[in-house]
Amino acid sequence: MAEETRTQAAAGEGGGSSGERGGERRGPRGATGPGGREAGRKFFRRKKVCKFCVEKIEAINYKDVRLLAQFVAESGKIVPRRLTGVCTPHQRRLSTAIKQARNIALLPFAGRAS
Amino acid sequence: MNRTYELMFIVRPDMPEEDQDKLISTLETAATSAGGSVKGVEKMGKRRLAYTVRKFHDGLYILLTVEGAGALIHELERRLRVSEPVIKFLTVRIDEEQKRLEKIQKIRAARRQASLAAAPEQGGEAAAVTA
């Protein structure tokens, strides 16, 4: 829910800034668009799905570094749910697993794993 | 009160094999004397550490699966803390997670069987419709 509204808000802002410069150009594009709200959007955003639900990965273990590394940013931060599309229960398990892995030096607290 | 734990620890990379075995066997005897048991030992080999620990960049990872009460874990952790070659350790309780996984697998198996049982019926109906 929150994710949906946020992306829409972002799209609205982008449209607003371009609209200030060329307000009239938006008319025909809006008419050709599939829907009223969709008109401002530049490109179609695919619905994100939870990797763990789709691939039926139930065990999120701190030892599985290769899996966990997909959800850790270059800086070592845990990637937020709104970017990865992981569902809430799985994100909860994921974050605990990442934190355990950090504790045993499998993943870095900060910076790239070197 | 028996629980299952995973005890992962890192020893310094220059530790000889026999010393590792000695350390593991002392931990095992400590576990058995405290009324628990060591279910499995896995040497995960040398790995690069994600950050420096006590000026080491690499470490030998060892994983023990231990069954026993909390007091046993306390004792094992104390031993790991005082033993000099161990540079880091982590204990994770895994029995609840295992129970959860088994439950999910059981549900999945039941569902699969149900779908298998339902599928031939649907096929039969479809055949009847086409006929």
Interface ipTM: 0.76
Res A25 pLDDT > 70: no
Give the least confident one: A15-19, A59-63, B54-58.
A15-19
Rounded CA separation B41/B61 (Å): 11
With CB atoms and an 8 Å threshold, state whether B88 touches A105: yes
**Sheet strands (E) in chain B:** 3-11, 37-53, 56-68, 86-93
Single-letter code of the amino acid located at A43 = F
Higher-confidence position of B43 and B121:
B43
Rounded CA separation A109/B30 (Å): 33
Q: Determine contact, residues A29/A39, Cβ cutoff 8 Å.
A: yes
- Main-chain phi, psi angles of A77, to 5 degrees: -80, 155
For B92-107, what is each residue's pLDDT tens digit? 999 888 898 899 889 9
Higher-confidence position of B120 and B13:
B13
Query: For residue B103, what is the enclosing H or E element?
Result: helix B95-130
Residue A23 banded pLDDT, cuts 50, 70, 90? very low
Whole-model pTM: value is 0.69
For chain B, the domains span 3-93, 95-131
For A86-95, what is each residue's pLDDT tens digit? 899 899 999 9
| Domain B3-93, CATH class in plain words | alpha beta
The stretch A74-82 carries a mean pLDDT of 90
DSSP category for residue A38: G
The stretch B40-66 carries a mean pLDDT of 89
With CB atoms and an 8 Å threshold, state whether B88 touches A114: no
Two tokens, residue B7: 């005890």
Res B73 pLDDT > 50: yes
Res B67 pLDDT > 80: yes
Res A18 pLDDT > 60: no
Q: Tell me if residue A29 falls in helix, strand or coil.
A: helix
CA distance B38 to chain A (A): 19
Residues 6+ apart with CB under 8 A from B116: none
Res A12 pLDDT > 60: no
On chain B, the residues whose CB falls within 8 A of the CB of A100 are 90, 92
Give the least confident one: A60-64, A108-112, B12-16, B78-82.
A108-112
Rounded CA separation A30/A35 (Å): 8
Two tokens, residue B110: 């039941």
The domains located in chain A, with CATH, are 2-40 (no CATH), 51-103 (4.10.640.10)
- Main-chain phi, psi angles of B120, to 5 degrees: -60, -35
CA A106 from centre of chain = 24
What pLDDT is attached to residue A79?
Answer: 92
The stretch A69-77 carries a mean pLDDT of 90
CA A28 from centre of chain = 31
Residue A1 banded pLDDT, cuts 50, 70, 90? very low
Is B107 touching A (CB cutoff 8 A)? no
DSSP category for residue A48: P
Q: Measuring CA to CA, how many Å separate A29 from each of A12, A15, A23, A34, A35?
A: 15, 12, 11, 10, 11
Residue B129 banded pLDDT, cuts 50, 70, 90? low
State the angle between helix axes of B70-82 and B17-33 in degrees (0 to 180), rounded to the nearest 10.
150
Nearest to A105 among B10, B92, B108 (CB): B10
Name the residue among B71, B11, B63 with its Cα closest to residue B38: B63
For B20-42, what is each residue's pLDDT tens digit? 888 899 989 988 888 888 888 88
Res A29 pLDDT > 50: no
Res A2 pLDDT > 60: no
The stretch B69-80 carries a mean pLDDT of 89
Interface test with A, best of B8, B52, B96 (most A CBs within 10 A): B8
